[in-house]
Structure 1
Amino acid sequence: MRSRALVYGDVDLNLIDGSAIWAQGVVQALALAGCEVTLVLKAPVRTGRLVDPLAALPNVTVRRPHEEGLVTADRGMTPKEAVAVLTAMDAEQPYDLMVVRGRRIAGKLAAGPFQGRLWTYLTDVPQSAGEFDGGAHGELTRIAKASRILLCQTEELRGFLESAVPAAAGRCVLFPPVVVLPAGLEPPERTPPAGRALRLVYTGKFAPRWNTYEMTSLPRLLAARGVDAEMHMVGDKIHEDPADPGFAKRMRTALETAQGVIWHGGHPRAEAMRLTAGCDVGVSWRHPELDASLELSTKVLECGALGVPVVLNRTPMHERLLGADYPLFASTEEEVVNALTGTAQDPAEYALAVRRCRAAAAEYTLEAAAERLRAELHRTFPEPSEAVRAAAGARGGGGRALRVGVAGHDLKFFTRLLDYLKSRPDMEVRVDHWAALKVHDPERSQELADWADVIVCEWCGPNAIWYARNKRPGQRLVVRLHRFELYSGWPNRLDIDAVDEVVCVSPHYAELTRKITGWPADKITVVPNWVDDRQFDRPKLAGAQHHLGMIGIAPSRKRLDLALDVLAELRREDPRFTLFVKSKLPWDYWWIWQREEERAHYEEVFRRIRRSPVLAGGVVFDAYGRDVAAWLRRIGFVLSTSDDESFHLAPAEGMAAGAVPALLAWPGADTIYDPRWIHADPGAMAASIAATVREGRWEEERRLGRSQVREAYGLDGVCDQWTGLLAR
């Protein structure tokens, strides 16, 4: 059955600009991914050049609120009006998801009935920490919490959003611009023009920071260099700038009268791309104020798909896209003219620019976008299971969903599993959230016990003891046990006869649990911790192979001191090696800092960092936060130097992020991780890391690690294991 998707953006589809191109791309990608798509128009239709091609697509419906009489004003809908219209349409027949673009409209919808169904595409967010005030942070936090996923155009935007808005971490999904070539348009082979003018092209809005007025001078300036050129400009949206009231008039005059400028006016997207294909070089040169933008120009990618190289500003994002030696980077008018002159006169330079742009655009096809959405749809809307249906029927369900209750005081290790269980069409999930380890509402707990077919107790603590005493006959009780509880007195008080299964995260701790508690082996099962491998799969930053990472350094049994031993060995030969630590500091935990031996340990560790010449400048402490996936982009090796761990998720997260794991042989490590990653001591660990980098094996090793973690601990696989566990 096709998922029903509603699409709305703060977008006027009468005008050709980046937001209109986004609307076209996302509708096409959703339809290709298998959705029934309804596009709701913000503005009354004055030209069908963008709307009509979408309305003609199969499985796409275009709703026109103004023509339907849902809006009376002859203008674009306000966010308040849009919320009313979208809510009314949803009430007719609820949608499975809503893709919305625009912070204001998303903020309004976050408080309404679309919570949990929003797939929010954010571009209009403050793009530096200095621009974030309390209002922006609060609004974006509400939007993040109300959204099932947040669609981010670039990796840079995703990382910034996750660090600035903690609630966004784990919800951000990369959704780059979509490039769709018109049917029948075959990009020609590109060679520098011979015997004719160099054709430059710009499509889109005309605005001051887009340097569109300055572009109209390029033919004249190139003529002074002996280069005959034309500037083709496509679009009809001239920006009215309050800071420069005369801009619109100057811009129009230049479009109509400037030497060598050919103004084509507004055109449907397909025609605009055909005009672009007939030109030699695209111009996307912008004001330096936009160099820090976290967004990627769709027009740059469209030019690339057409084989048209582009003049654009040199930024880190553009260097990663096209290579640092791309020949058409330019930031000033003189640099633009120099770059165009060189390209017009050097066939090899022109050919290089064409190849780079084509290769970059190949990653942004409609098929690639549809595949990204298809994966998210599969995860968001899992297929029902016959085993789950049978389990519900065996408990008197009569065709209803399996009722799953989850109880615990701290669900941070269960969040994504809980999201998954709630998304299943064959399960109904309720949560009994205990206020503290020993504090709960007995009436609420009893309601859950009376209702559920299966109860999952996260932590083997007072919650598990209470439900074991109060469960119904035939009701399944599953208890997930962590290291913390195993060495407390709670397992001894648990009526194990009332428990159907105890879940441990590793074979080592399953065996320890059996030995310490004496519980029957057939009641103890292993379901590993999960790693959201898709979230962590992000491109590495330059220099990552020389960066070690450590996540969590408290309490002292995490052994930061041993990690410093590793770092010191490496830096004696190569000072590029650096240790990045992402953690709360020990004094942030009162229960750690009040212990004398803990304080003594850390005082010695920090004294060593401060005084050691070899460690000087080699240790970086980063703030604790949920933005681990973004942080791991800079990390090439993730260390685990602990005395003991029940699982230690950090190496697995590092592997999913393309870092090489490096572990010491704490008890049970070899039951969780491949022995190739486990080292006898810090010296051996340092030697292995150094050899991996020196011998050029880092790429190979990190690919192997990523493959291993996906197979063993990938979120989808662990979710499948939990589905089978609950359906028994």
Structure 2
Amino acid sequence: MTQGLAAAGCEVTLLLKAPVKTDRLVAPLTGVPGVTLRRPYEEELLPDLGPRGLTPDQAVGLITRLDTENRFDLVVVRGRRAAIAAAQAEALAGRLWTYLTDVPQNVAELTSAAVSELTDIAVASRFLLCQTEELRDFLESSVPAACGKSVLFPPVVVVPEGVAGSGTPHTPLKLVYTGKFAPRWNTLEMTELPAALAAQGVPAELHMIGDKIHRDSPDWAKRMAKALEDTPDLVWHGGQSRAEALRLSAQCDIGLSWRAPEMDASLELSTKVLELGALGLPVVLNRTPMHEELLGADYPLYAGEDIDSVADVLALAADPDVYRRAAERCAAASAKFTLDRAAERLRGYLDLAFPAAPAGTSPDRPLRVVVAGHDLKFFTRLADHLMSLPGLEVRLDEWEALRTHDQYRSKELAAWADVVICEWCGPNALFYAQHKRPGQRLLVRLHRFELYAEWPRKLDIDKVDAVICVSPYYADLTRERVGWPADKIVVLPNWVDDEQLDRPKLAGAEYTLGMIGIAPSRKRIDRGLDVLAALRRRDPRYTLVVKTKQPWDYWWIWNRPEEREYYERTYRRIQRSDLLADGVVFDPFGPDVATWLRRIGFVISTSDDESFHLAPAEGAASGGVPAVLAWPGADTIYSRRWVHEDTDAMADAIHRIVSEGRFDAARAAARAEITEHYALRRVCQLWTDLVVDGTAPERIQLDRFAAVGLG
């Protein structure tokens, strides 16, 4: 992490936990430009330092003290106990980049106390750095506060220059294990491998590097120590620096990362596997979904649970052809985890966290911006972006309800602001138009909800600099219904967090349709069922997964007899239909949309009408395909290749894509289209231009996409 941040252009202070007894770990950092090591013991930074290193509270206390001396822009914390302590330090809130490893990795361990701790960590953090996609998905599914903050930071592989394996196996075959010695890591069982291979006529040596023996079981620790010292054909190299451990490993033939079966569910990826692969060594390891994703299901050196199965695999690896194929596969996988890749990834996160100041702004006199409204949930990420910009000072005027607010505070903000953004064209817009000052700019975002209410007709449009609509169709409809000048109405689309949504699809996603939100009835889940039925007549693998609150969760929907009758009729249809009964899954509503979408190949929109309907765009950004019925204005948001006249046409298009093997091509085209127009960074930049200097965006042109059909 330290090397990656330094390579990304940061000045890094590394606070050491314990006194330096050997320079194995810190030596590679002493010559890195921009890296400062702080040694609490040698510098006597605290008076009561114990023999086992800093406690989490001491570490966080030192960080906050150093922060007062030279303020840090970000603070990286690794380890659950340290992260909990850091999350409780208000001075660090929002600047924490928490690297999560030692967290619960299954439902049984995820107690209410653990969820509470992880929630506190997520709330206090700017980013949660997750080693694997599997860990990120599990975290987001369990801790809602982690959604939108969880990003990937895989292991980083740094191999000394000029250190590499020979490329061919030796005789005797040299096996290598490097790391800690612990029961679940099968290190005691590994010591039996030379004898097991000898029984198969394969001479072998086992080289073991490390000096950390877990002593939770004293008896096991004694047996492990004795095996290291007394086992024939076992060479124990003891503790070594990382660089020396890699040099010793490169002189061997095959790496060992064989572990106990209970480790198969781990959500972490072994750095040792990647390091050995980078040296050109193949590795024997357990067959798990994560390892199959990394090395392929046909990788030849997956081991079983017992020592004989490992010996069988190692005997197979003595064949030069098998050895070469396995080594090439490990090397290719490791190439994705270099320091350069890590630095590139960190630079992307730094750009998100620390955007550049917009042209025309000055930190000496920031542009004063107020965001006002009764419900800011659709504006939260945009407000976060504006707040992060140097040269802008942003304050929120959050109204309790449509007509309820602190009038004194609102008047103060109206007198203070250079720019006012009213989220919703409701009483908030009327208030700020009434109190607008000369030279002040007023921007009003109008949703479908207000267009059919009385407030737009009461608004003094001469006081408004721009009315923002999310789609061309609703911009035109607004002009027609209210009669406002065309040059006052601008189109600024909804955003899609394409970077968060860009995750690998799970197997079978092409057969899974998704809907997000099915209430009220104008969302028309019945049409979605029509599409599913048409598809299941052709292939029973098609499934519809619905992520939603149920209609009875909304009192204002469930109290309407026609709404209740619609859902009762629709749900009876699912229960009684042979085609549908086993083909519809309901998932709970929640913020873990990015994780959920990994299962979904097609996100369908079957509504009577929508102002934008973000779900199909999110599906496309996730690597899926949007499928949209031709509700009014759909073809101004999605190109015509994704828009269908009726449910039969939608089903036909979906099945053709899947059955003709064009799913990957279609989803690549969809993602390219959606990210070009609706990516979060692009929409944030459009809002920045409008807020800072009044530059209105040009309307999106979909004609060039429409020519590419699905047939």
Query: What's the TM-score once normalised by structure 2's chain length?
Result: 0.95
Contact 1:552 1:583 in 2 (8 A): yes
State which of 636, 660, 666 in structure 1 corresponds to 2:601.
Answer: 636
Cα RMSD after superposing both structures: 1.3
Residue-by-residue CA offset, 1:136-177 (whole Å, 9 max, x unaligned) = 111111111111111110000001100100011011111111
Match of 1:310 in 2: 283
> Is 2:45 the counterpart of 1:80?
no
User: Is the 1:115–1:146 Cα contact (8 Å) retained in structure 2?
Assistant: yes
When structure 1 is superposed on structure 2, of 552-561 and 454-463 the one drifting more is 454-463
The residue aligned with 2:234 is 261
Q: Say which of 245, 248, 270 aligns to 1:275.
A: 248
Q: Which residue of 2 aligns with 1:408?
A: 373
The letter for the 1-side match of 2:517 is: G
1:117 matches 2:95: yes
Instruction: Give the Cα separation in 2 of the matches to 1:66 and 1:604.
Output: 72
SS at match of 2:189: helix
Q: Does 2:186 correspond to 1:211?
A: yes
Q: CA deviation at 1:184?
A: 2.7
**Structure 1 unaligned regions, length at least 5:** 1-25, 390-396
Percent identity of equivalent pairs: 65
Q: Does 1:590 align with 2:537?
A: no
Indicate the residue corresponding to 1:380 in structure 2: 353
Residue 714 (structure 1) shift: 0.5
Q: 2:442 is matched with which residue?
A: 477
Identify the match of residue 529 of structure 1 among 487, 494, 510: 494
Secondary structure of 1:386's aligned partner = coil
Paired residue for 1:173? 151
Choose the corresponding residue for 2:268, options 295, 298, 301. Answer: 295
Match of 1:338 among 298, 309, 312: 312
Q: Deviation per CA, 1:411-465: give whole Å up to 9, x if none.
A: 2111211111111111111111222222222222223222221111111122222
Q: Which residue of 2 aligns with 1:238?
A: 213
CA contact (8 A) 1:635 1:659 kept: yes
Number of residue equivalences? 689
SS of match in other structure, 2:92: coil
Q: How does 1:495-574 map to 2 (within 5 A)?
A: 495-574=460-539
Q: What is the one-letter code of the residue matched to 1:48?
A: D
In structure 1, C-alpha distance between the alignment counterparts of 2:106 and 2:380, rounded to whole Å: 29
- Match of 2:259, SS state, is coil
Correspondent of 1:201 among 154, 161, 176: 176
Instruction: Give the alignment of 1:186-197 within 5 angstroms.
Output: 187-193=164-170, 196-197=171-172
Q: Tell me the amino acid that sits aligned with residue 514 of structure 1.
A: R
Q: Alpha-carbon deviations, 1:306-327, whole Å to 9, x = none?
A: 1111111111111111111211
2:37 equivalent in structure 1: 62
Distance in 2 of aligned mates of 1:103 and 1:689: 45
1:329-348 CA distances to partner (integer Å, 9 max, x unpaired)? Answer: 1231222111111212x322
Shift of 1:726: 0.5
Taking the aligned partners of 1:46 and 1:718, their CA distance within structure 2 comes to 52
1:685 aligns with 2:659: no
1:225 pairs, out of 189, 200, 210, with: 200
Q: Cα deviations across residues 545-566 of structure 1 (Å, max 9, x unaligned)?
A: 1111111111111111111111
Work out the CA distance in 1 between the residues paired with 2:44 and 2:304: 48
Equivalent position to 2:105, from 127, 136, 139: 127
Q: Aligned partners of 1:557 and 1:86: how far apart in 2? A: 54
3-state SS of 1:67 partner? helix
Q: Aligned pair 1:579/2:544, yes or no?
A: yes
Other structure's SS at 1:620 match: strand
**Paired residue for 2:118, among 140, 164, 170?**
140
Does residue 284 (structure 1) correspond to residue 257 (structure 2)? The answer is yes
Question: 699-708 vs 100-109, which deviates more?
Answer: 100-109
Q: Distance in 2 between matches of 1:471 and 1:277?
A: 72
Partner Cα separation in structure 2 for residue 585 and residue 330 of structure 1: 46
CA distance in 2, matches of 1:191, 1:553: 59
* Alignment partner of 2:339 out of 366, 388, 392: 366
Of the three residues 613, 623, 628, the one matched with 1:658 is 623
The residue type equivalent to 1:312 in the other structure is L
SS of alignment partner, residue 431 of structure 1: strand
Report the Cα distance in structure 2 between the residues aligned to 1:449 and 1:607, rounded to whole angstroms: 54
Q: Is contact 2:358–2:692 with CA below 8 Å preserved after alignment? A: no
> 1:644-681: per-residue Cα shift (whole Å, max 9, x none)?
10000001100100001110101001111111000111
Question: What are the Cα deviations for residues 321-375 of structure 1, in whole angstroms up to 9, with x where unaligned?
Answer: 111121111231222111111212x322222211221121111111111111111
Aligned to 1:49: 24
Cα deviation code 1:203-225 (max 9, x no counterpart): 11111111111111111111111
Greater displacement, 491-500 / 277-286: 491-500
2:165/2:281 contact within 8 Å kept: no
Structure 1 segments, 4+ long, off by >3 Å, are none
Instruction: Tell me if the contact between 1:286 and 1:331 (Cα under 8 Å) persists in the aligned partners.
Output: no
Identify the range of structure 1 (486-495 vs 230-239) with the bigger mean alpha-carbon deviation.
Answer: 486-495
Using the alignment, how far apart are the partners of 1:694 and 1:119 within structure 2? Answer: 44
Tell whether the 8 Å contact from 1:388 to 1:723 is kept in structure 2 after alignment.
no
SS in 2 for 1:283: strand
Kindly provide the CA deviation profile for residues 25-51 of structure 1, in whole angstroms up to 9, marking residues without a partner as x: x11111111111111111111111110
Aligned match of 1:465 in 413, 416, 430? 430
Please give the secondary structure, in 2, of the residue aligned with 1:667.
Answer: coil
How far 1:523 moved relative to its partner?
1.2
Q: Distance in 2 between matches of 1:446 and 1:237?
A: 65
What code does the residue aligned with 2:105 have?
Q
Distance 1:458 1:42 in 2: 48
TM-score (norm 1): 0.93
Query: Which residue of the partner structure matches residue 456 of structure 2?
Result: 491
Q: Distance in 2 between matches of 1:366 and 1:143?
A: 27
Deviations 1:455-501 (A, max 9, x none): 11111122222222223222111111111111122222222222211
2: distance between equivalents of 1:294 and 1:463? 47
Contact 2:74 2:97 in 1 (8 A): yes
Match of 1:13 in 2: none
How far apart in 2 are the matches of 1:702 and 1:623? 26
Alpha-carbon separation, structure 1, partners of 2:32 and 2:553: 57
Describe the SS at the equivalent of 1:471.
coil
Per-residue deviation, 1:189: 4.7
8 Å CA contact 1:177–1:298 kept in 2: the answer is yes
Q: How far is the alpha carbon of 1:111 from its aligned partner?
A: 2.4
- 1:9 aligned residue: none
List gaps (5 residues or longer) in structure 2: 694-711
Q: For 1:496 and 1:65, locate their aligned partners in 2 and report how far apart those are by CA, in whole Å.
A: 63
Q: Which amino acid aligns with 1:302?
A: E
Q: Which moved more, 1:164-173 or 1:495-504?
A: 495-504
Which shifted more, 440-449 or 581-590? 440-449
Letter in 1 for 2:111: D
| C-alpha contact 2:358 2:389 (8 A) present in aligned 1 | no
Structure 1: distance between partners of 2:304 and 2:69? 52
How many angstroms apart in 1 are the aligned matches of 2:481 and 2:83?
52
SS state at 2:591 partner: coil
